[in-house]
Amino acid sequence: QVHLLESGGGSVQTGGSLRLSCVASEPIAGRYCMGWFRQAPGKEREGVATIDSDGRSSYSDSVKGRFTISRDNAMRTVYLEMNGLRPEDSAMYYCAADDVGNSVPALGWVAYVATFTYAGRGTQVTVAS
């Protein structure tokens, strides 16, 4: 069982930037698709971004062009660089991982990241207007 620990959340003004990090308890290279989903109070979970073991990424339409996901397999870490933050980006952000094999669904793994097998406890992002 892989454990995930997020960090990097905080409070920023509209248009600001944050970089989230997620460290895994075991090696992620060649096995785990990694990603982020978020959940705001009273709302359902929303996939944000994923990056598979081959480095292929997928993003939700709401963050495409503003957020960038990356991974450092040597450090067992995945990052989410968030630029141009908006109040509607405010949420608890969760790191997630799953061993999904080599397939790539038509909608991208971002459509499924909120149901991945492993997830961290989250880090809060608040964007003030």
22-56 burial, b for 16+ CB within 10 Å, e for fewer?
A: bbbeeebeeebbbbbbbeeeeeebbbbbbbbbeee
pLDDT score, position 102: 80
Residue 103 pLDDT grade (very low, low, confident, very high; cuts 50, 70, 90) = confident
8 Å CB contact between 27 and 103: no
pLDDT score, position 104: 84
58-95 tens-digit pLDDT? 999 999 999 999 999 999 999 999 999 999 999 999 99
Q: Phi and psi dihedrals of 68, rounded to 5?
A: -135, 125
Instruction: Report which of 42, 126, 51 is spatially closest to residue 92, judged by C-alpha positions.
Output: 126
8 Å CB contact between 48 and 61: no
Mean pLDDT of the chain: 96
Average pLDDT over residues 39-47: 97
47-59 tens-digit pLDDT? 999 999 999 999 9
Average pLDDT over residues 20-46: 96
pLDDT score, position 107: 85
What count of Cα atoms within 13 Å lies in the side-chain half-sphere of residue 25? 9
pLDDT higher at 24 or 100: 24
**What's the rounded Cα separation, in Å, for the pair 96 and 75?**
16
Decide if pLDDT at 106 tops 90: no
pLDDT score, position 92: 98
